[in-house]
A = this chain, B = another copy of it.
Amino acid sequence: MNIFIVFAHPEPKSLNASLLNFSVEVLKEAGHQVQVSDLYAMRWKAVADRDDFPWLDAGVPLQYANASGEAFTQHRQLPEIEAEQQKLLWADFVIFQFPLWWYSMPAILKGWVDRVYAYKFAYGVGVHQGEKWGERFGEGVLKGRKAMVVLTAGGRELHYSPRGVNGYLEDLLWPIQHGILFYPGMYPLPPFTAFEVNPRTAPEAFEQIKAAYKERLLTLETTPVIQYRSQNGGDYDGQQLLKPGREGKGVTGLAIHQIHPRVGSYGGEAEAPL
């Protein structure tokens, strides 16, 4: 497969960077083609602003979506934006690798999304007419591809479990896995997460992390995806609301948007779905 890794960590000597380098070796050895966007090394511009559209007249107020859509359709995007979009199109599989900072992506990675996911490229795709609300959430420009979040967290795994004080990791990652990966058509695999990663992480712990990650990397094609419901697959109505009864008895929250979510893992009294 063609594998595109978008990587966000400021330190080349970090565990994250070592893990990245390791993964590139593993993937190439397994016969995959690999491209990496190391955002910090690229000095990626995180802030989306009018400098992204040098052709925009100074007197015209910036409407970012409109400008990005115009730049995309008229082939006048900045080369750096175009290049990232080409990597996405080249890829069969996309990995976002980052340390979890404040329960989300480092700003540089969010800025990659803000600027690369142009209007008419990543959104505003497909027909918006009647009951059809475009091609997204399972369809779109990146349809047919898979993706995976790879993250390191300083906190303990328990704190990210369904009853953990941080909130269940699966729910924390919803804006990314559903809203950013699934939106333009990529089905995400369950994330790979290394917990309790900090400056005191011992070499033995890192060896375990690498071993576990290697297993995930060697099973990218066979690991079942998170079964998010596609928007246009029949589960949502003309208002893009989940039709009544689609979810299993007792399933509430973001889990309703998954076929066969891991219900009951919250420790409540919900029944397992069919």
Residues of chain A touching chain B, judged by Cβ–Cβ distance below 8 Å, are 10-14, 40, 44, 46-50, 61-66, 101-108, 110-111, 113-114, 117, 133, 137, 154, 156, 158-159, 161, 163-168, 171-172, 174-175, 178-180, 183, 198-199, 231, 236, 239-242, 244, 247, 249-257, 263, 266-270
Query: Given A159-B240, A250-B270, are A50 and B10 neighbors across the interface (CB < 8 Å)?
Result: yes
5 further interface pairs, Cβ-Cβ under 8 Å (given A14-B62, A107-B111, A252-B255): A13-B61, A103-B175, A110-B110, A252-B266, A253-B253
Copy number in the complex reads 2
Tell me the complex Cα distance, A58–B18, Å. 19
Specify which chain B residues have a CB less than 8 angstroms from the CB of A133 in the assembled complex: 165
Instruction: Specify which of B49, B114, B167 is in contact with A179 (CB 8 Å cutoff).
Output: B167
* CB-based nearest B residue for A62: B11
* Inter-chain contact A179/B171, CB cutoff 8 Å: no
Task: Give the Cβ gap from A45 to chain B, nearest Cβ, in Å.
Answer: 9
